[in-house]
Structure 1
Amino acid sequence: MELGYFAMPSHPPERSLKAGHDWDLQTLRWLDELGYAEAWIGEHHTAPWEPHPAPDLLIAQALLQTKRLRIGPGGFLLPYHHPAELANRVAMLDHLSEGRLMFGIAASGLPSDWAMFHVDGTSGTNRQMTREALDIILRLWSDEPAFDFQGQFWKVTKPETMYGFLKPHIKPLQKPHPPIGVAGLSKNSDTLKMAGEHGFLPLSLNLNPAYVATHWAAVEEGARRSGRTPSRRDWRMVREVFVAPTDEEAWRLSVGGMMGRMMREYFLPLLGNFGFLDYLKHNPSVPDSDVTPEYCARHNWLIGSPATVAEKLERVYNDVGGFGGLLVFGFDYSEQPEAWHTSLRLLKEEVAPRIRHLTP
């Protein structure tokens, strides 16, 4: 099982944009030094707790400060980007990465972002735009000759050579393109069906394992549409993780630290407004009011000593039928940096050897 990182990125609203950015860079340097495999960086525009609108700015800097870590947006919100411009920008970033770039895509799920960009997410227009934009990007990266695309949302032309020397020429370094990842949240996720259909990397966000188990069925359903055979080795699982020398210390630093605060002030209220709290419950009869950081720590989070976290991780692995990558959900511990670094180190050095036998 490979270890990676999934950052919204999340920062408390009082943190300056520069200070939050610097914390993310420090974390990415640590991940590289500790031997983590990959990191995904989110994009959001109207959430003070998720304050990074341009993941490629962070990625470009991080690529200069790391040596082995694969890094990618997790993901670019395709409805908010012209697909031809984004195709060229991602291709250029792939060259700068020397092949370490991943390309995460998403449809956007925040109503406030929909409002800013005048995208109708309620009716699913955001998902339709995402599919159309991705189709255009992949065509521009392919060897397909000149074409004229008249879509529902964008009009894009791949022109013929002009004056003998002007022509489309920017393509990714990795062939045919960087690995593409898509994240899924809801039960029987449509985006994960798309991942299975196209052979993309499926990322399951941090929900109760009972719901996450349906995600692989969605991947398989999508794969059947195109005659593919998906591999569980490609499946990434995003989880809240905090490892400390003892269970008591892990509880204090997670529930009593920034993990607990962010969940209490932002993430749980956000999921509640979307009607998604059921996805965190180990039993549907649990009242919404009982879904607190303490409840999540007991039922969903991987927190504790290395032995405890290894045991919990193996239980999740068996509950969902196996997966190939664990992505640590990122939090801003810039006021307790050593605690977060220790957690990342213990996960890599003491938990990972205990779960080496978990091979999908």
Structure 2
Amino acid sequence: MTKAELRYGIFLPPFHALDEDPTLCLQRDFELIEFLDRLGYDEAWIGEHHSGGFEIIASPELFIAAAAERTTRIKLGTGVMSAPYHHPFMTAGRMAQLDHQTKGRAMFGIGPGLLNSDAQMLGIRAETQRDRMGEAVDVITRLLDGEIITAKTEWFEMHNARMQLGPYKGRRPHIACTSTVTPNGAVLAGKYGLGMVCVAAASLAGYSALDTNWAIACAEGEKAGKPMDRAGLRLMAPFHVAETREQAIAEVSWGFDKWSDYAYQISPQGPASIGLGPVKDMIENQAAVIGTVDDAVAQLERYWDKTGGFGCMLILAQNWATPENTKKSFDLIARQVMPKFAARNARRIESYNWMGDNRVEFANATRTASQLAIEKHAAKGA
């Protein structure tokens, strides 16, 4: 990977406070993805949750199907589908259909399920979720590859199961596993040749595990004969950019406390349970970018150095700022952060400086040429 190849996108849980109309919140999510599509962002990953009242998308596939009709180029992924909550055969079938409906723009993010409250309602024990995720990945990848499967586990069974609809243009849609601090996602990614979405990159523990988990995935991939591709390595973290750091801090105060209160509903540790916390602490600990273009570029450099290069930076769509200021931040990232990190203007700057360095010579040549033209004209009239 080179910095010029780095892709950008969002990770949309979504987070919506309890004082807004949920229908309008969903419409705003669609509008944000349309906006990002026009700006040239590459990806949007949509979450699945069933409790807590804040993260109100229960079916990322339904959302993606509608978002695909509103956009033209941005790729859309389940971010993530909770594998233990769904029969793998039905999951594979829905993803194949979505692959066709989006004409290959659908991506399939898979995880064990984040909110224990969701699992509790379904009678699923937390200690079984990672194993179930692995079992689901195994049969889903095989089904999408065209295998006929007979299998029985403690939570699903199949008898000569085969998919009647193959993937769009015969190619399996991109599949990525979540990776946090544990090596579970990295092992699955390597074993099955999948992408990785490092959803805990903002936390100290998650950041520390970025290079080690990638190394684990590469080692597993080598054993399975499926080399890992850094283009499939994604990092997720919060970014909010404004003209000054003071302005950025003021802007995120609009919704940060509501989000923080929700985090305490999930865990007694609140935002600290995922490595986040008060705005000042997050800035000091480099857990989030709440600042300027230069702050954002510095964070990207930090992630790049830690991983040795990665494929996509996913910005957590956190709704800490107003919708208007959130869009301004994404616009500023597209217009100034992305080109600065990738040195896209290097040739322009070189040309600009070359012109300035030689402006006296060039200006004198222009004046001399003009004077000669005047003199030639005068000579003809003589």
Give the TM bin, normalised by the shorter chain: 0.7 to 0.9
Structure 1 position 236, deviation (Å): 0.7
Question: Who is 2:368 aligned against?
Answer: none
Structure 1 position 80, deviation (Å): 1.0
Question: Who is 1:47 aligned against?
Answer: 52
Structure 1 position 269, deviation (Å): 6.4
> Which whole-Å deviations, capped at 9, do the CAs of 1:175-230 have from their partners, x for residues lacking one?
331100111222x4311221122221111113233343433233234324424432
Please say if residues 59 and 72 of structure 1, whose CA atoms lie closer than 8 Å, have aligned partners that are also in contact: yes
Between stretches 95-104 and 242-251, larger displacement belongs to: 242-251
Higher share in helix = 2
Structure 2: where are the runs of 5+ without partners?
A: 1-5, 345-382
Cα distance in 1 between the residues matched to 2:221 and 2:244: 42
Q: Secondary structure at the match of 2:34?
A: helix
Identity %, equivalent residues: 28
Instruction: Flag the 1:337–1:168 CA change in 2: closer, same or farther, 3 A.
Output: closer
Output the TM-score relative to the length of structure 2. 0.80
Confirm whether residue 148 of structure 1 aligns to residue 150 of structure 2.
Answer: yes
Instruction: Flag the 1:173–1:350 CA change in 2: closer, same or farther, 3 A.
Output: same
Structure 1 position 263, deviation (Å): 4.5
Aligned residues: 334
Q: Secondary structure at the match of 2:106?
A: coil
Cα distance in 2 between the residues matched to 1:55 and 1:14: 23
Please say if residues 236 and 314 of structure 2, whose CA atoms lie closer than 8 Å, have aligned partners that are also in contact: yes
Structure 1 position 174, deviation (Å): 4.8
Structure 1 position 149, deviation (Å): 2.1
Divergent runs of 4+, >6 A: none
Confirm whether residue 171 of structure 1 aligns to residue 171 of structure 2.
Answer: no
Confirm whether residue 266 of structure 1 aligns to residue 262 of structure 2.
Answer: yes
Q: 2:61 aligns with which of 33, 56, 59?
A: 56
Question: Who is 2:92 aligned against?
Answer: 87
Structure 1: where are the runs of 5+ without partners?
A: 160-166, 282-290
Between stretches 134-143 and 65-74, larger displacement belongs to: 134-143
Please say if residues 130 and 184 of structure 2, whose CA atoms lie closer than 8 Å, have aligned partners that are also in contact: no
Q: 1:324 aligns with which of 311, 320, 342?
A: 311
Q: Secondary structure at the match of 1:72?
A: strand
Structure 1 position 92, deviation (Å): 0.8
Confirm whether residue 345 of structure 1 aligns to residue 350 of structure 2.
Answer: no
Q: Map 1:1-360 to 2 at 5 A.
A: 1-121=6-126, 123=127, 125-144=128-147, 146-158=148-160, 168-186=163-181, 188-205=182-199, 206-208=202-204, 209-254=207-252, 256-258=253-255, 260-267=256-263, 270=266, 273=269, 277=272, 280=275, 291-299=277-285, 300-332=287-319, 336-356=322-342
- Aligned AA (2:170): K
Instruction: Flag the 1:267–1:196 CA change in 2: closer, same or farther, 3 A.
Output: farther
- Aligned AA (2:29): D
Q: Secondary structure at the match of 1:75?
A: strand
Cα distance in 1 between the residues matched to 2:302 and 2:325: 25
Cα distance in 1 between the residues matched to 2:269 and 2:223: 33
Please say if residues 246 and 291 of structure 2, whose CA atoms lie closer than 8 Å, have aligned partners that are also in contact: yes
Cα distance in 2 between the residues matched to 1:57 and 1:64: 11
Output the TM-score relative to the length of structure 1. 0.85
Please say if residues 35 and 69 of structure 1, whose CA atoms lie closer than 8 Å, have aligned partners that are also in contact: yes
Q: Secondary structure at the match of 1:153?
A: coil
Instruction: Flag the 1:88–1:319 CA change in 2: closer, same or farther, 3 A.
Output: closer
- Aligned AA (1:134): V
Please say if residues 158 and 168 of structure 1, whose CA atoms lie closer than 8 Å, have aligned partners that are also in contact: no
Instruction: Flag the 1:92–1:233 CA change in 2: closer, same or farther, 3 A.
Output: closer
Please say if residues 178 and 197 of structure 2, whose CA atoms lie closer than 8 Å, have aligned partners that are also in contact: yes
Cα distance in 2 between the residues matched to 1:112 and 1:176: 36
Cα distance in 2 between the residues matched to 1:332 and 1:16: 14
Please say if residues 249 and 279 of structure 2, whose CA atoms lie closer than 8 Å, have aligned partners that are also in contact: no
Between stretches 6-15 and 216-225, larger displacement belongs to: 216-225
Instruction: Flag the 1:279–1:41 CA change in 2: closer, same or farther, 3 A.
Output: closer
Question: Who is 1:163 aligned against?
Answer: none
- Aligned AA (1:201): G
**Larger Rg belongs to:** 2
Structure 1 position 19, deviation (Å): 1.9
- Aligned AA (2:203): L
> Which whole-Å deviations, capped at 9, do the CAs of 1:256-281 have from their partners, x for residues lacking one?
132x225421236645559x947638
> Which whole-Å deviations, capped at 9, do the CAs of 1:270-317 have from their partners, x for residues lacking one?
45559x947638xxxxxxxxx433211332112212122212321232
